[in-house]
Structure 1
Amino acid sequence: MLQVFLIGVLLLNINTAAAFEPISTSIAVGMAAALTGFLATYQNIFYYFEECCRPEWISFNKTGLEVDLDQKLFGQHIVSRVVLKAITGFMKNKNPKKALVLSLHGWTGTGKNFVSYLIAENIYKKGMASSFIHQFVATAHFPHQSQIENYKSQLQHWIKGNVTNCPQSMFIFDEMDKMPLGLIDSIKPYLDYYETLDDISYRQAIFIFLSNSGGENIMQVALDFWRAGKDREEIELKDLEMALSLSVFNNKNSGFWHISLIDKNLVDFFVPFVPLEYKHLVQCGMAEMDAQGLVPNHTLVDQMVRDMVFFPKSEKIFSVTGCKTISNKLSYYGEHVFKQKTTADGAGAGVSAGWNIYSYFYESCDSQWIDFNSTGLEVDLNRKLFGQHIVSRVVLKAITGFMKTKNPKKPLVLSLHGGTGTGKNFVSQLIAKNLYKKGTDSGFFHQFVATAHFPHQSQIENYKSQLQHWIKGNITNCPQSMFIFDEMDKMQPGLIDSIKPYLDYYEKLDGVFNRQAIFIFLR
């Protein structure tokens, strides 16, 4: 009706214009033709502006995924090959027999979350921001084993509801090694070969599981190849897949322990991420500099990587942290020497800020109240902190580098250690003083003391829930919040693990952007 009405109006204008000006007639005819073509493509105009479960918003880009895996993922030849084939084959199949299930395994920093991100970017127009991508993190969404039955019911309803809304939904489950035992088995029916289940087809959905479990087996195979003088590129999926699936299935500390997904062969591919070597970290560093708009500097990246920890101790082949810490370490190593790339007119990127009269009187999360003073911190550390030359140097570089990074990949996390009276709390106060206009009195500065705020072991589950809500709420209010945790040696065991997701590399978690926050632990 909308299409007919609009064209009718244009034709009416054509008849009127024809009596006066032939050029107007031609323009009107052209407009009518263009509008007809537009409406033929977007018969409901809302499809164009509002994300919906249609090809305009969900369209697999095979070439894009292939290029991304080739140019942005380093040292993972098996992953690149398996993921590209698995996703391409599934997306090309108009009538798949079951949902696609991938299980990505390997140690931290090897690229599991990054690969999930690349898949999303090349299927959904909005990438990870798509409302059809659903990410679950074990320690954030399922922290209490005692709530397992509630979690099962909630998870089933969530998956059923979202697949009903869009059959081409994607579900990512991170920290599978910390998932409550038995939880994932509750969604087994949605991953099986049923044509429909309660009149809903789950066959076009994608499920991706991420886990550190199996990393030991993967490392041992890679180490055996290295000691035998073979290239890591000679490792094939068949060298790892069977041993990987068995080790994961039999690991009592894993959310995969004896689950029917493995027993019934519902996981399509176990994808192994091999530990990264020196050359791969250099590639990560150079790519990260480019991503941050910095002029690549191989000498500095090389220095940074050489200072990182590798194992085994005797050979020092594989990185302990992989590429995960590269972003913040770049800020530390390159504070004074990295140069910003210039824009087309030769000027560096700039940021303009608006001004609100209310923010003049009331503290708000903007540059009037949060403005890092690098010189002030340097002077304070030099003149007021005594006998701590390492602390002064590391803290100044870490804070300065982090605050200068416009798009950090994760929050800054510092852990200060030493005997009482050596200056740990004082350093935290100096950081706050030179970051917030109100210093430690700022509403964005939050301090927790173990014996005062978390005194009872019996209340550990309540503390976990309260702490998660506190951090999430305050970062929602101000992304540049600072959280201090004092008396870490007296903190209830397991409590800090509950906030691990907010310190990780997720772009967003439950719609909240955590990457600009600062966490400081004192022990």
Structure 2
Amino acid sequence: MDSGPRSAEAAGPGAPGPSLIPPLRAVVRLRRRVCLLRKRRVPPPGPAPAPADPPQFFTFDSPEPPSRTPRKRRRRSRVVLYPETSRKCRPRAERRSRAQRCLLLLVAIVGFQVLNAIENLDDNAQRYDLDGLEKALQRAVFGQPAAVARIVALLRDYLATHVHSRPLLLALHGPSGVGKSHVGRLLARHFRAVLEDGALVLQYHARHHCPRPRAAQGCRDELARLVADVAERAEAEEKTPLLVLDDAERMPPALLDELHGLLQPQRAHRFRSAVYVLLSSQGGAEITHFVLQNASRGPPARPDGAPRAEEELRAGLRALLVRAHPLWQAAAIVPFLLLDRRDVVSCFRDEMAAEGFFPEQARAELLAAQLQYYRVAGREFAVTGCKQVVASVNLL
């Protein structure tokens, strides 16, 4: 029964008591576990990296670039499928496209350039006052509405621009007294007024400038010199000159050859911009036959009958004139038809007013009755036109 106290006493005063043994055992177990964990994390063999000392002063060395991490691929958006029955609405960014704005700007620029070109054409044509010329011809030339309209239309198309590839050749053909020379004088007067320079208008009469006894070569050299002077002056002033050549049927072949050479596009640039007006009675018999034949047939059954007949007349005249000289191949032929009695009366009244007489209708009809006429299908066409009007009025 006394063994317990004895054993405690036998252990001595320096031995630990029984209450300290379990904590000691727990500490020992923890130490062993820490040692095992350290042994598992042993570093690889090799020299240990020296610890980097922090810089003692400021440097501009760039820091090491950070390691790039792989970028994630962007998922492509799926195509939006619109139902067939619903209304398709495009995104706002697609509606406001820059390409569409550039296209609209380009269209606006092209439209502005076209409008500017049209205005330049109008400005160049207004210099010659073709509207005033048309009114003057309609007022002073009787019985030739188709010829006047064709002359003005050809001049309007040619004078719309200043730069041309070849000159314009107007060939006015018809019998005597139908108004060819009168139209030539009106054209010369009008161009002198609008060009403000009489040197840009040349009137050449074959009967006066080149009579038959004179050598044809001399006439050719003189005509070439006159045309060269006019063309050079017109080029300096940037204007289109007018050259009226009357009595073309009296011109020798040398003069026609010179005119044909002036119309070629390979000539100098100053010769390409010009208007030539040839007045000739060649083809007068064919025009007379055409007028009398169409007067006997009566009015055309269709509205386009008259223009088609005039086109056939121009084609027949061209074929006839080309056989005489190739100059007429490049000409715009304008036929002048016969004048009926009413037109001759108008010529008498106009001449009486110009001479200071009162243009009385009865007196003009009395003077017109003294002339000779072709009488076909109830109509009367003057044989000599208004050729004898001036002489008859001078006798008053």
1:214 corresponds in structure 2 to 283
Alpha carbons 1:222, 1:235 under 8 Å: kept: no
SS of corresponding position for 1:173:
strand
Alpha carbons 2:241, 2:274 under 8 Å: kept: yes
CA apart distance, 1:316: 7.4
* Mapped partners of 1:137, 1:146: distance in 2: 14
* Mapped partners of 2:208, 2:188: distance in 1: 21
1:181 corresponds in structure 2 to 253
CA apart distance, 1:211: 0.6
Deviation string for 1:269-292 (max 9, x for gaps)?
101000111010011112222333
Q: For structure 2, which runs of at least 5 residues remain unmatched after alignment?
A: 1-122
Structure 1 counterpart of 2:234, which letter? C
2:320 corresponds in structure 1 to 247
CA apart distance, 1:139: 2.1
CA apart distance, 1:145: 6.7
* Mapped partners of 1:128, 1:145: distance in 2: 36
Residue 92 (structure 1) aligned with residue 155 (structure 2): no
CA apart distance, 1:104: 0.5
Deviation string for 1:169-217 (max 9, x for gaps)?
22111111111123211232321223x52xx422221111111110111
Residue 298 (structure 1) aligned with residue 370 (structure 2): no
Deviation string for 1:48-89 (max 9, x for gaps)?
xxxxxxx9xx93112211211222211112211110101111
Give the counterpart of 1:161 among 225, 229, 234. 229
Alpha carbons 1:98, 1:203 under 8 Å: kept: yes
SS of corresponding position for 2:184:
helix
Structure 1 counterpart of 2:369, which letter? R
Give the counterpart of 2:242 among 165, 170, 176. 170
The count of aligned residue pairs is 264
CA apart distance, 1:127: 8.6
- TM (norm. structure 2) is 0.61
Give the counterpart of 1:261 among 327, 335, 352. 327
Alpha carbons 1:117, 1:127 under 8 Å: kept: no
Structure 2 vs 1, CA of residues 145 and 294 (structure 1 numbering), >3 Å: closer, same or farther?
closer
* Mapped partners of 2:294, 2:311: distance in 1: 14
Structure 1 counterpart of 2:193, which letter? K
SS of corresponding position for 1:103:
strand
CA apart distance, 1:227: 0.4
Larger radius of gyration: 2
Correspondences of 1:402-413 after superposition (within 5 Å): none
Deviation string for 1:141-186 (max 9, x for gaps)?
1223771222222222221122112242221111111111232112
Alpha carbons 1:245, 1:270 under 8 Å: kept: yes
1:205 corresponds in structure 2 to 274
Residue 75 (structure 1) aligned with residue 143 (structure 2): yes
Give the counterpart of 1:274 among 317, 329, 337. 337
Alpha carbons 2:172, 2:277 under 8 Å: kept: yes
* Mapped partners of 2:224, 2:279: distance in 1: 19
SS of corresponding position for 2:229:
helix
2:5 corresponds in structure 1 to none
2:127 corresponds in structure 1 to 59
2:265 corresponds in structure 1 to 193
Deviation string for 1:301-355 (max 9, x for gaps)?
00000111113699773212211221231232xx3xxxxxxxxxxxxxxxxxxxx
Would you tell me which structure has more helix in proportion to its own residues?
A: 2
Deviation string for 1:386-435 (max 9, x for gaps)?
xxxxxxxxxxxxxxxxxxxxxxxxxxxxxxxxxxxxxxxxxxxxxxxxxx
SS of corresponding position for 2:253:
coil
Structure 2 counterpart of 1:151, which letter? C
Structure 2 counterpart of 1:93, which letter? T
* Mapped partners of 2:315, 2:196: distance in 1: 31
Deviation string for 1:223-253 (max 9, x for gaps)?
111000127x964330311111122233xxx
* Mapped partners of 1:294, 1:126: distance in 2: 31
Structure 2 vs 1, CA of residues 127 and 73 (structure 1 numbering), >3 Å: closer, same or farther?
farther
Residue 224 (structure 1) aligned with residue 297 (structure 2): no
Alpha carbons 1:121, 1:128 under 8 Å: kept: no
Structure 2 vs 1, CA of residues 129 and 221 (structure 1 numbering), >3 Å: closer, same or farther?
farther
Percent of aligned positions that are identical: 22
* Mapped partners of 1:127, 1:286: distance in 2: 31
* Mapped partners of 2:156, 2:374: distance in 1: 36
* Mapped partners of 2:343, 2:354: distance in 1: 16
Give the counterpart of 2:370 among 291, 307, 330. 307
- TM (norm. structure 1) is 0.47
Alpha carbons 1:106, 1:112 under 8 Å: kept: yes
2:209 corresponds in structure 1 to 141
Pick 1 or 2: higher relative contact order, CA cutoff 8 A, min separation 6.
2
Give the counterpart of 1:101 among 169, 172, 175. 169
Structure 2 counterpart of 1:309, which letter? Q
Structure 2 vs 1, CA of residues 244 and 330 (structure 1 numbering), >3 Å: closer, same or farther?
same
Alpha carbons 1:62, 1:122 under 8 Å: kept: no
